[in-house]
Structure 1
Amino acid sequence: MVIIYTSPGCASCRKAKQWLRDNKISFVEKNIFSNVLKEGEIKYLMSRCENGTEDIISTRSKAFQNLHRGVDDFTLNELVTLIQKNPSILKRPIMLTEKTMVIGYDDDEITAVTPSNLRQPISMPVNTEDGLRLSLKAY
């Protein structure tokens, strides 16, 4: 199951949802504008970021630019409150599974939300030192 955080009018969100439908991956959509994100939910999303909070905060958004501060100028609690009051500062879509988090829509990265039981193996021919040709499968 995938949780996808979206906003209305977001082209990347529409593409991501269509990709999930096309690949028969069930998802729950959470519109960040019609549902205020809870403190724990925001902190959980931030904890899943590999490169810090800038992974999910759009520092180029007008709402963030108008603050005239950098991400590092905020405490964690201030960021949580800021996101709750200005959800437009979040990058979208945010797709979340138990093991992965994908931010934005990228044709290659979105495949990370595909459950392993649905992934198709890719056969790769490999030549060994003694001239044998093997076929390895990768998922």
Structure 2
Amino acid sequence: MDRPVIFYTYPSCTSCRKTKEWLKKNGVPYIERHLFKNPPTPKELKSMFEMTTMGTDELLSKRSHTFKSLDINLDELTLTQLFDLINEEPRLLRRPIITYGDHLIVGYNKEALETLLA
């Protein structure tokens, strides 16, 4: 692996705990980042969005109370505005998020996690 595994997590998130347990059990070294205390930078967000196959649908929790309460149209936002919004409201992001090299894993996905072992 050419770049470290970065694990964006939130402690009370069940999927985050399952993912962390999987990483530890399989001896995958990672850098843990608390999603709300140390959210991704705009540069990191840009990189994440470049790695998605489904864009905002893959990274944003559009059914969350936080998202619905904002009453926004994502299509009307520039990337800079979107990244600023996520930085202000990191709860908009689905979790956990794992990045490594040019790969992205969102949520607890055992099959995708196994690619970390290759």
| TM-score relative to the length of structure 2 | 0.89
Give the alignment partner of residue 10 of structure 1, picking from 10, 13, 23.
13
Unaligned 5+ runs, structure 2:
none
Q: Is the 8 A contact 1:5 1:92 kept in 2?
A: yes
Structure ranking higher on relative contact order (CA contacts 8 Å, 6+ apart): 2
Matched, 1:63 2:69: no
User: Aligned Cα RMSD in Å?
Assistant: 1.4
Equivalent positions of 1:1-139 (< 5 A) are: 1-114=4-117, 116=118
Q: Distance in 1 between matches of 2:85 and 2:114?
A: 31
- 1:69 Cα offset (Å): 2.3
Q: Distance in 1 between matches of 2:25 and 2:105?
A: 18
Q: Give runs of ≥4 in structure 1 deviating > 3 Å.
A: none
Q: 1:89 to 1:112 in 2, by over 3 A?
A: same
Q: Deviations over 1:86-115 (max 9, x none)?
A: 00000001111114211000222221222x
For the residues of structure 1 that align with 2:11 and 2:24, how far apart are their CA atoms?
18
Q: Which runs of 5+ in 1 are unaligned?
A: 117-139
Contact 1:93/1:103 (8 A) holds in 2? yes
Once the two structures are aligned, what percentage of the paired residues are identical?
A: 34
The whole-number CA distance in structure 2 between the counterparts of 1:112 and 1:96 is 12
- Cα deviation for residue 12 of structure 1 reads 0.6
Could you say which structure has the higher helix fraction?
Answer: 2
Q: More strand by proportion, 1 or 2? A: 1
- Once the two structures are superposed, residues 23-57 of structure 1 have per-residue CA deviations (whole angstroms, 9 ceiling, x without a partner) of 01100011111114322111111111112122101
What letter is aligned with 1:112?
Answer: T
Distance of 2:53 and 2:19 partners within structure 1? 21
- 2:8–2:96: 8 Å Cα contact kept in structure 1? yes
